[in-house]
Amino acid sequence: MSEMIETEVSASVSNITELPWPTYNKYFEVTSTDSKNFFVKCKLCIKSKTYSTAIRSSSNLKKHITTKHDSKLKELEEQLKSEKTFGKRKHDETDDSCKTKKQLTLSESFIRPQYVSQEKLDSMITEFVVLGNHTFSIVEEEKFKYLMNMGFPKRKCLTRKTLMGRISNISQELKIELKEQLMSTDLKYVCATADCWSVYKKSYIGVTVHWFDPITIERKSAALACRRLKGRHTFDVLAKVLHSIFCEYGIINKISRVVTDNGSNFIKAFSVHTQTSETRNTGSRVETTDDDEDGEDENDDEIDMIEIDDILANGLEQNPEYSLPPHHRCASHTLNLVATRDSEKALSDVIYKRQMRSSFAKMQGLWNKQSRTSVVADTIHDALNVYINVPNTTRWNSTYNAVKCLSDQLQKSEAKVQRICDECGIPRFDKNDLAFMIDYCKIMEPLSRALDILQGDKYMTMGYLIPTISWLKRKLTELSLAGKCKSLAKACLDGINLRFKSMTKEIPIILSSVSHPKFKFKGMSPFEKEEGMEFFKAEVEQLQSITGIVNVQPATEDDFLFDGDDVEQPHTEIDRYLTTPFSGDLQILNTMPIIKNIFLKYNTALPSSASVERLFSVAGDICSKKRGKISDQNFENCLLVKINFKIKNK
């Protein structure tokens, strides 16, 4: 609509050669106009300079006379006063038959020929409904039709049936465009994430895809599907659906890793149906164990993440019909298990257990009071100017955030917090409680930061995993030496060592870190560096034999000057890679084709399945209570259009 208005106004002022205020034409000359401004030159100024003033206001012109030609100001004001009086008298003395033509008002200009086509209007309405999460029936509401008729009187408003047809067509167009990108011969590696989700007694499996642009090395992401699951979510059912989706987009042989949480049905689906490491080249020195495949409690009103680890009771025999790509367990979900389950082992320390239960009892009492009564909530807000954070059951770091909030308030406004406790009938926090809360936050903060890092999307790669876990282990080792919560730090450290031991020793994980120019060998021990270099050199030699790329710098024209001299031989690509500092731009890899190929092969994968959780966040907005009866196909179409809309017209 704004484009139409600007076009109309522009057309109406393009031929104007004089200002609409006659007095100012004596002092200024119009040079050009646009939809909002007059551009003029002052006739009094010696130097020719262009000034601008709004079409509806002459204030800039008067300001110029006042500041630059004050000797003319009195004359200007007298002329303006005379013009105003003359205009009023002329209006009073003129009858209706002698009235001059008026310029069209903004509302009148809408009646003029339309500049928005019917197709453009239909597209605008479709985007408005889908991207704005509006109900589909809004296009048939009288007020919406009235709005469209007033704005576009010669255009027709979409019907609900036509709207759903357009959404379906756009979804199919986006699928075709996405498939063309993914099946490009230049694109060799992609990563997928998958998870299960339920809402209003319906279950779905969501799948996203991630890759690097082979030229710009820029991270790309898209949603592949959000399919309805009926019946029990056994590993065989999951394998069948995933295989179908991957084949639908033609990427079954391009996927370097499929990232899921630690649910036993996902684990078994991939252990049974995954292609062998020899055919997929994803070997590991240590066999992956299935220790503690516990899921995480999720419950947010009527939207739930499926407890997939408790669903499967008995496995089915292997079905050779389905062949899945290599699997990777979500590192973020594994860290969640460290923070929620492994941390409980610290309770074996009697002193820690006593202090933890005492402090958390007081905090829980305050959290409950704020959540259950508005009177207490208002009291807290009036005293602290904020509501305190309250934990929820969906994310462990909500507890960390809640404890940190109370700890900060106690250090900042202890008297106010203690007064709130008195009014609520809760025991006051003492010095031991505050010391415990501070130590608790010191230990849980590195876990929270590591989780935030690994859940990244745009810049995240598998190469971040080893450096992040190494940093986390180093921080927890330092914190386990002293403090009221040293038992907690020790328990979390033991959990990390147990859960990530085999993962960080997998050859593809090691190569992902070594081939990332930001890290290379950071976070590795001397032995791990030596071992990592062996894997790296072996991978380079293997790619050289396949591609035929020579691993030396190209010869220059003046090399003949040094023939026969004792000069240093050209560096290998590995040497150049290791000695070249990283500036933050991955395009540096374009100068090292072998290293670039290794980077794309092992860093296309993500360490976390957080992206599919973000997909479910959007899905929750689409499948609202007002849309509870939306069909499965319409639901998936809307979701794919909303998430993949950025692909359109690229």
Burial class (CB in 10 A: 0-12, 13-18, 19+), 48: exposed
Angstrom distance (rounded) from CA 486 to CA 442? 10
**Considering the chain, what is the average pLDDT of its residues?**
80
pLDDT band at 66; cut points 50, 70, 90: confident
Q: Model confidence over 121-175: pLDDT tens digits?
A: 999 999 999 988 888 989 999 999 999 988 888 889 999 999 999 999 999 999 9
pLDDT band at 83; cut points 50, 70, 90: low
Angstrom distance (rounded) from CA 9 to CA 103? 11
Section 331-345 average pLDDT: 90
Angle made by CA atoms 374, 376, 380, in degrees to the nearest 5: 115
Q: How far, rounded to the nearest angstrom, does the alpha carbon of residue 648 sit from its chain's CA centroid?
A: 18
| Position 353 pLDDT exceeds 90 | yes
Share of the chain above pLDDT 90, in %: 44
pLDDT band at 550; cut points 50, 70, 90: low
Q: Are residues 43 and 28 in contact, defined by beta-carbon separation less than 8 angstroms?
A: yes
Angstrom distance (rounded) from CA 363 to CA 365? 5
For 110-164, what is the HEC assignment?
A: CCCCCCCCHHHHHHHHHHHHHHCCCCHHHHHCHHHHHHHHHHCCCCCCCCHHHHH
Residue 588 has what DSSP assignment?
Answer: G
Q: pTM of whole model > 0.75?
A: no
pLDDT of residue 283: 47
Q: Transcribe 449-465 into DSSP letters.
A: HHHHHHT--SS--GGGH
| Position 294 pLDDT exceeds 50 | no
How is the chain split into domains, by residue range? 2-105, 118-158, 170-330+609-647, 342-505, 514-551+570-603
**467 or 238: which carries more pLDDT confidence?**
467
Section 294-316 average pLDDT: 38
Q: Which two tokens stand for residue 547?
A: 């591609």
| Position 315 pLDDT exceeds 50 | no
With residue 419 as reference, give the H or E element that holds it: helix 414-424
| Position 544 pLDDT exceeds 60 | yes
pLDDT of residue 564: 46
| Position 403 pLDDT exceeds 50 | yes
Q: How many CB atoms sit inside 10 A of residue 542's CB?
A: 13
pLDDT of residue 5: 41
Q: Model confidence over 456-498: pLDDT tens digits?
A: 888 899 999 999 999 999 999 998 887 788 899 999 999 999 9
**206 or 322: which carries more pLDDT confidence?**
206
Beta bridge partners of 205: 196, 227
Residue 218: phi and psi, rounded to 5, are -100, 135
pLDDT of residue 181: 92
pLDDT band at 321; cut points 50, 70, 90: low
Share of the chain above pLDDT 70, in %: 78
- At residue 203, the 3 state secondary structure works out as strand
Q: Are residues 40 and 31 in contact, defined by beta-carbon separation less than 8 angstroms?
A: yes
Section 244-268 average pLDDT: 80
* Buried-state track 548-581, b at ≥16 Cβ within 10 A, e below 16: eeebeeeeeeeeeeeeeeeeeebebbbebbbeee
Beta bridge partners of 40: 30, 51
pLDDT of residue 91: 43
Burial class (CB in 10 A: 0-12, 13-18, 19+), 412: exposed
pLDDT of residue 105: 63
CATH code for the part of the protein at 170-330+609-647: 3.30.420.10
pLDDT of residue 354: 93
pLDDT of residue 310: 34
**292 or 217: which carries more pLDDT confidence?**
217
pLDDT band at 27; cut points 50, 70, 90: confident
Number of helices followed by number of strands (H, E) in the chain? 24, 9
**384 or 569: which carries more pLDDT confidence?**
384
Q: Are residues 191 and 221 in contact, defined by beta-carbon separation less than 8 angstroms?
A: no
Residue linked to tokens 């684990």: 267
In this structure, of 413-427, 535-549, 577-591, 592-606, the range with the lowest mean pLDDT score is 535-549
Residue 354: phi and psi, rounded to 5, are -65, -45
pLDDT band at 394; cut points 50, 70, 90: low
pLDDT of residue 8: 44
pLDDT winner (highest mean) among 37-46, 203-212, 302-311: 203-212
pLDDT of residue 60: 84
Q: Model confidence over 618-640: pLDDT tens digits?
A: 887 787 776 667 888 988 999 99
Q: Model confidence over 178-219: pLDDT tens digits?
A: 999 999 999 999 999 998 888 778 888 999 999 999 999 999
Q: Which two tokens stand for residue 293?
A: 């495949």
Angstrom distance (rounded) from CA 450 to CA 443? 12
Q: Are residues 116 and 1 in contact, defined by beta-carbon separation less than 8 angstroms?
A: yes
pLDDT winner (highest mean) among 144-158, 279-293, 306-320: 144-158
Beta bridge partners of 221: 210
- At residue 346, the 3 state secondary structure works out as helix
In this structure, of 133-142, 252-261, 395-404, the range with the lowest mean pLDDT score is 395-404
pLDDT of residue 515: 95
Q: CA–CA distance from 197 to each of 93, 365, 620, 626 (Å)?
A: 77, 32, 10, 19
| Position 311 pLDDT exceeds 50 | no
pLDDT of residue 103: 64
